[in-house]
Amino acid sequence: MVYRGVDPQGRTAAVKVSRQGDLAREHRLLATFSHAHLLRPLDCGRGAQGQWLATEWAQGGALPDAPPGGFEEARVRRWLAEAAGALAHLHRCGWVHRDLKPANLLLRADGALVLADFGEAVPAGTPGPAVAGTLVGSPRYAAPEQSQGAPATPAADVYSLGVLLHEWLTGQPPFGGETPAETLAQHLVAPVPRLPAARAQWQPLLEALLAKDPACRLPDGQAVLTRNAT
């Protein structure tokens, strides 16, 4: 559960409460990875309902669903740069988010995008789940190798950003299915969709983000920033 509150300094805060998650760990990570496009932590502790984590209140909430035909290009380019910037910083610190999706990208009152929810974040190279078929992340956004139990790499976050980019440009996910298993299968074998003619200039970048083989993908957030700037 997430509540809206006010801290002792009078700052509006989002307070996440959990009986199971390690919110103290998430607080440490957010504090360690301080960056303009990462959610700012305020405090953490434990109460009658379990652990709690207080962060800045992102007034704009989670990213909205893309409309039919996608968002305007200026907004797409800005969000891509801000998300890639947050990932670039995280990747330079040697970590992987592993759960990039709209619900974990929030908007401040000024429209700036911030990356949130580090519950699945791990150091790069961390082995995948030991139990076969266990997925870390969300089926709609997870890289193909995440469903295969591969170690965590920054390239997996890049793939998830590619899925988001396709949604922002078209209003539709690049791969889908009626069940999570069907969606994961599409990520594994389906070719990268062709963008509409009006968005065709984005196709090379999309291909570089959604390559099935991580070795053929842009390797990290900094590479996305560099490519997006050209």
Instruction: State yes or no: is 65 an active-site residue.
Output: no
DSSP 8-state assignment for residue 18: E
Comparing C-alpha atoms, which of 124, 130, 120, 131 is closest to residue 21?
A: 120
As beta bridge partners, residue 122 has 96
Phi, psi (rounded to 5 degrees) for 224: -65, -45
7, 99, 157, 213: the active-site residue: 99
The number of residues making up the chain comes to 230
Report the alpha-carbon distance of residue 105 to residue 144 in Å, rounded.
Answer: 21
Comparing C-alpha atoms, which of 207, 197, 136 is closest to residue 165?
A: 207
Comparing C-alpha atoms, which of 81, 74, 86, 68 is closest to residue 167?
A: 68
- Identify how many contiguous H helices and E strands the chain contains and give both numbers: 6, 9
Residue with tokens 């305020």: 42
Report the alpha-carbon distance of residue 191 to residue 175 in Å, rounded.
Answer: 9
Known catalytic residues are 99
